[in-house]
């Protein structure tokens, strides 16, 4: 029998986990549960990741973590336990399913517009690295890291998922009109890998247009793939379309370890009152059952859940106005009573494929370093210096230029991405951080050490906060231009 790790979490977590496991037990789901210590209290014991080493070992051995929501202590220095778990185990694809459910009243269900779509969100990269610095007291920066290999891993999963689920249309959401390199990687990789799946229709939409179209025509989408932060926002938007976070399951899928969890938080305002709706965790648990090969059990429980919702049974957070709500346990008991029943208004769930045995992951021998096959020649052509100054850009230029050798030239100064020297608009408000672009002249190819030496010279007159080297890859410039450059 398969064993999975469970962590009920904080706030309403233990209540909804108990409700879900009572349904699993009533359905005689052949699973064993190994509790692991992961919660707010573990942070307080001094484990900065929110879990002790034993919990980590158990999860790594079993390959599946089923978890309730967990509280991240507020304040500096502590990272979210949820994000840490997803990143630590490289669960690179976040799967969230959204569909109209009979019994869950929304503007779309009232209008007879059926929603049935999945959002797949890259789960490791992007601003979720949480790599941030104060460049000075006034200006902070966040690194938005997007890699080709990480994106490939994610996009391949997107198409494999579509193929497995019989999805015929996949949309890529992005902002590559503005972020040409980072979002460009997602869009280009998407179209590249799509060529291997000729039976699937593909298109792409700028994320703001996507948000508008999701609200206007949600029934025209089947599967949407996005980067991490955009995917986070868009998936909550989709949760809103189908009745809120309480109905949106979430799976974090990796090659070795996968995490299944409710999308909502710990709901401290209703914790301990048995008012919580366990549906999101139950839907996530149903996804988990399919993942570990217990497909027939997943279908049976899902049909009972849909039937129960159709009969109007509901917790206090949803349902017809004026109708009596039930508590968490009563809601779970209603589903248990309906095990074996089929929904009459929603389509009956009958997944493709037979039950199979889940094989826990084999621990990799070492960290997998992912390197692109394509390695074009890199040529250093200059550097961007990020400096702190409250002077006008022209004054900064007259400080820098005389200190540069003939092979290097100050070509542009920008402020918050907008050119302010050699030409500027008097209306461009500036902050006390400038980016000074220094480019090599007449095909001079500097080394990094040479450029750092120049920085050392310049630092007697200007306050350098950060340096980015400018590189060309053949005809491709590996850096963006300033607005107006």
> Least distance in Å: CB of 94 to ligand NAI?
11
What is the dihedral angle through the alpha carbons of 45, 49, 52, 53, rounded to the nearest 10 degrees? -150
Cα separation of 404 and 457, whole Å? Answer: 9
* Displacement of CA 223 from its chain's centroid (Å): 15
Q: Is 235 in the site for ligand NAI (CB under 6 A)?
A: no
246 vs 382, which CB is nearer to ligand NAI? 246
Q: Is 267 in the site for ligand NAI (CB under 6 A)?
A: yes
Each as own residue / partner, the long-range contacts of residues 210-218 (CB below 8 Å, 24 or more positions apart, any chain) are 210/171, 210/173, 210/234, 211/237, 214/238, 214/241, 215/241, 218/108, 218/113, 218/115, 218/117
Cα separation of 149 and 157, whole Å? Answer: 13
Please provide the DSSP assignment of 15-67 as one string: HHHHHHHHHHHHTT--EEEEE---SHHHHHTT-TTSS-HHHHHHHHHH-EEEE
With CB under 6 A as the contact rule, the residue among 8, 71, 153, 397 that binds ligand NAI is: 71
Sign of the torsion angle spanned by Cα atoms 472, 417, 79, 317: negative
Nearest to ligand NAI by Cβ — which residue? 265
70 vs 124, which CB is nearer to ligand NAI? 70
> Least distance in Å: CB of 228 to ligand NAI?
14
Binding residues for ligand NAI, total number by CB under 6 A? 20
**Residue 217 token pair:** 């025509």
Helix H segments across 292-434?
295-310, 328-337, 393-400
Residue owning tokens 């209290």: 41
Q: Which of residues 313-342 bind ligand NAI (CB under 6 A)?
A: 317
Binding mask 273-302 for ligand NAI (x = CB under 6 A): ---xx--x----------------------
467 pairs with which residues across the strands? 385
**Measuring CA to CA, which residue among 209, 222, 142 is closest to residue 182?**
142
Cα separation of 186 and 191, whole Å? Answer: 9
Q: Is 246 in the site for ligand NAI (CB under 6 A)?
A: yes
Q: Is 264 in the site for ligand NAI (CB under 6 A)?
A: yes
Q: Is 232 in the site for ligand NAI (CB under 6 A)?
A: no
**Residue 108 token pair:** 């779309």
Cα separation of 97 and 250, whole Å? Answer: 7
232 vs 310, which CB is nearer to ligand NAI? 232
Q: Which of residues 182-201 bind ligand NAI (CB under 6 A)?
A: none
176 vs 235, which CB is nearer to ligand NAI? 235
With CB under 6 A as the contact rule, the residue among 2, 39, 82, 430 that binds ligand NAI is: 82
13 vs 150, which CB is nearer to ligand NAI? 13
280 vs 419, which CB is nearer to ligand NAI? 280
150 vs 249, which CB is nearer to ligand NAI? 249
Cα separation of 105 and 242, whole Å? Answer: 8
With CB under 6 A as the contact rule, the residue among 70, 253, 410, 412 that binds ligand NAI is: 70
63 vs 69, which CB is nearer to ligand NAI? 69
> Least distance in Å: CB of 244 to ligand NAI?
8
Backbone phi, then psi, for 429, in 5-degree steps?
-60, 140
> Least distance in Å: CB of 274 to ligand NAI?
11
Binding mask 416-445 for ligand NAI (x = CB under 6 A): ------------------------------
> Least distance in Å: CB of 203 to ligand NAI?
31
Q: Is 261 in the site for ligand NAI (CB under 6 A)?
A: yes
If DSSP codes are grouped into helix, strand and coil, which group holds residue 68? coil
With CB under 6 A as the contact rule, the residue among 72, 118, 123, 189 that binds ligand NAI is: 72
Backbone phi, then psi, for 226, in 5-degree steps?
-145, 165
With CB under 6 A as the contact rule, the residue among 8, 50, 63, 69 that binds ligand NAI is: 69
265 vs 478, which CB is nearer to ligand NAI? 265
62 vs 239, which CB is nearer to ligand NAI? 239
- Residue numbers of the site for ligand NAI (CB under 6 A)? 12, 69-72, 82, 245-246, 261, 264-270, 276-277, 280, 317
């Amino acid at each position: 029998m398969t064993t999975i790790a469970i962590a009920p979490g904080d706030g309403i977590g233990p209540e909804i986990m108990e409700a879900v496991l009572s349904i699993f037990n009533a359905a005689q789901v052949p699973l064993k549960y190994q509790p692991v210590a992961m919660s707010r209290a573990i942070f307080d014991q001094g484990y900065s990741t929110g879990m002790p080493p034993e919990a980590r070992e158990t999860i790594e051995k079993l390959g599946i973590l089923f978890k309730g929501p967990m509280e991240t202590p507020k304040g500096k220095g502590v990272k979210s336990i949820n994000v840490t778990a997803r990143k630590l185990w490289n669960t690179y694809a976040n799967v969230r399913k959204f569909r109209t459910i009979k019994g869950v009243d929304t503007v779309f269900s009232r209008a007879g517009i059926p929603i049935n779509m999945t959002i797949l969100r890259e789960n490791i990269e992007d601003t979720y690295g949480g790599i941030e610095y104060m460049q000075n007291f006034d200006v902070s920066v966040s690194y938005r890291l997007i890699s080709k290999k990480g994106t490939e891993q994610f996009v391949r999963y997107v198409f494999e998922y579509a193929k497995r689920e019989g999805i015929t249309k996949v949309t890529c959401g992005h902002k590559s009109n503005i972020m040409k390199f980072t979002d460009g990687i997602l869009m280009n990789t998407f179209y590249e890998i799509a060529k291997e799946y000729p039976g699937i229709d593909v298109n792409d939409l700028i994320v703001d247009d996507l948000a508008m179209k999701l609200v206007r025509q949600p029934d025209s989408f089947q599967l949407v793939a996005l980067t991490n932060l955009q995917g986070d926002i868009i998936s909550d938007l989709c949760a809103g379309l189908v009745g809120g976070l309480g109905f949106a399951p979430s799976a974090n899928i990796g090659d070795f370890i996968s995490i299944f969890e409710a999308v909502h938080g710990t709901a401290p305002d209703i914790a301990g009152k048995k008012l919580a709706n366990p549906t999101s965790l139950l839907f996530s648990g149903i996804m988990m059952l399919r993942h570990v090969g217990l497909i027939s059990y997943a279908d049976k429980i899902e049909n009972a859940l849909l039937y129960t919702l159709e009969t109007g049974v509901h917790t206090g957070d949803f349902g017809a106005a004026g109708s009596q709500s039930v508590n968490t346990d009563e809601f779970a008991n209603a589903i248990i009573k309906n095990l074996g029943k089929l929904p009459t208004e929603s389509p009956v769930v009958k997944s493709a494929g037979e039950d199979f045995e889940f094989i826990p992951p084999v621990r990799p021998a070492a960290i997998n370093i992912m390197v692109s096959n394509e390695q074009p020649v890199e040529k250093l052509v200059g550097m961007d210096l990020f400096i702190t100054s409250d002077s006008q850009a022209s004054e900064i230029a007259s400080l820098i230029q005389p200190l540069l050798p003939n092979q290097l030239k100050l070509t542009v100064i920008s402020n918050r991405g907008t050119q302010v020297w050699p030409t500027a608009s008097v209306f461009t408000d500036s902050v006390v951080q400038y980016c000074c672009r220094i480019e090599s002249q007449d095909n001079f190819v500097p080394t990094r050490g040479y450029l750092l030496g120049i920085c050392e010279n310049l630092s007697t007159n200007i306050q350098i906060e950060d340096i980015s080297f400018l590189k060309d890859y053949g005809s491709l410039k590996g850096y963006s231009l300033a607005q107006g450059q």
